[in-house]
Amino acid sequence: SDEAYSTPITRFNRNWGMSWLDRWALSKGKKSDFFKDEPTAPDFIMKLAKVEHE
């Protein structure tokens, strides 16, 4: 019943990648400063995922 779940995803509409929260925010026109306080993944998670950056 939450409106967010029915919000169309118009940006980054792919199966993999960023979270649906980020896709929703971009689709709603949020700018980069909206994401500035978002936490980053710890180094051990990045190593387990075999990625160099988020």
Mean pLDDT by 10 residues, the chain (54 residues): 79 74 87 87 93 81
Structure confidence at residue 24 (pLDDT) = 86
Structure confidence at residue 5 (pLDDT) = 79
Structure confidence at residue 19 (pLDDT) = 82
Give the integer Cα–Cα distance in Å for 28 and 3.
Answer: 12
Structure confidence at residue 54 (pLDDT) = 74
* Cβ neighbours of residue 8 closer than 8 Å, sequence gap 6 or more: 27
* Cβ neighbours of residue 49 closer than 8 Å, sequence gap 6 or more: 41
Structure confidence at residue 10 (pLDDT) = 83
